[in-house]
Amino acid sequence: MDKMPRWADIFLVPLINLMLAFFVAGLVVLAIGQNPFDMIYFMIKGALGSTSGIGFTLYYATNYMFAGLAVAIAFHARLFNIGGEGQAGIGGIGVTIVLLAFDWPHWTIALPAAIIGGAVFGAAWAAIPAYLQAKRGSHIVVTTIMFNFIAAALLGYLLNGILKSPLSQNAESLGFPPGAHLPTAHEVLAPLGIAFSKSAPLNISFLLALLCAWGLWVLLWRTRLGYDIRTFGRNEKAAIYAGISPVRVTVIAMLISGALAGMLAINVVMGEQERLIAGFVEGAGFVGIAVALMGRSHPFGIVLAALLFGMLTQGGFELLWEMPAISKEMVLVIQALIILFTGALDNMVREPLEQLFTRIRKAQS
């Protein structure tokens, strides 16, 4: 028998964790002499109060979905991929090479090619740590951290060298051909008579991210490979005894993880910036860790968590105007506290709750 009912495990524990995180964040705001309720009001208003706000919120959420799904698939195989940041950066190189190679006639042709470019490059960057973990026993956490830094150096090198635009002073590539322009929310919704902000970077990649979430759910719970991955993650010894190859599972899970992280570049590089700019990932790869933890590594949970973090990010930028005394880095503090309470301090809430439920059951029987 489970120690507590399913609803408590899936909803109650994360909810209490989240409330604790926000409570402590509120204390931080109080400590710097500001009103936490004002902050929440302005953040929600900034994130959802206008179509521009919603557009930015969903744009960030798209990044976090890709990053969160990437972390989650690795989690299911009991691998901690901290390398999403680097894999997304390298994915950006793949997207850029594909999009600069041809004068693309239409985005419907350019998008699949760019997806392949981003996914293959992202997966390739994850493949080396995966191989080293599976074959040589080097700890994947450390190698993926190292690969983040190597990726940043590589990106900097290419953007100051071969990929650098001769037209620009900055470390950025040439702009992509107009045919590679992804439809934005404004362009999609205008013919339907819905007025959506022109400035918001929300684009068709959002749907791609949702599709990936659904695809990952199918993969994990409806295919044999998914079963292998989850079995391996639950109990390595049992998996090996059942004839599941640890090398195969480790490498495949990491390849999918890297590919998902690489696809983050579709949203940012192809959808928004339409060129490759150094440091474009902006920490989204790390936010993916928080998203995956919050979403309990379930695609549906990740979509919800990504929306929450998208709101936080956009709301944080809004604070800049409404409450200048609170810097937008407050969002980092909230993210950190969510990671801390839902990830590391989970047992602090879970154990007393488990005891409580056991006592209730005993009293009932």
Residues binding other proteins (CB under 8 A): 28, 32-34, 80, 82, 128, 132, 136-139, 141-143, 145-147, 149-150, 153-154, 156-157, 160-161, 286, 289-290, 293, 325-327, 329-337, 339-340, 343-348
Nearer to other proteins, 224 or 237 (CB): 237
* φ, ψ of residue 172 in degrees (nearest 5): -150, 160
How far is CA 17 from its chain centroid?
Answer: 20
Q: Which residues are bridge partners to 203 per DSSP?
A: 184
Smallest gap from Cβ 75 to other proteins, in A, equals 10
Residue 259: closest CA among 126, 75, 122 = 122
Count Cβ atoms within 10 A of the Cβ of residue 193 and give its class: 0-12 exposed, 13-18 middle, 19 or more buried: exposed
CB 338 within 8 A of CB 349: no
Smallest gap from Cβ 364 to other proteins, in A, equals 25
Nearer to other proteins, 123 or 293 (CB): 293
Nearer to other proteins, 50 or 327 (CB): 327
Smallest gap from Cβ 163 to other proteins, in A, equals 13
CB 184 within 8 A of CB 201: yes
Nearer to other proteins, 51 or 96 (CB): 96
| Residue 29 DSSP SS3 | helix
Q: Is the dihedral of CA 13, 222, 255, 276 positive or negative?
A: negative
Nearer to other proteins, 133 or 205 (CB): 133
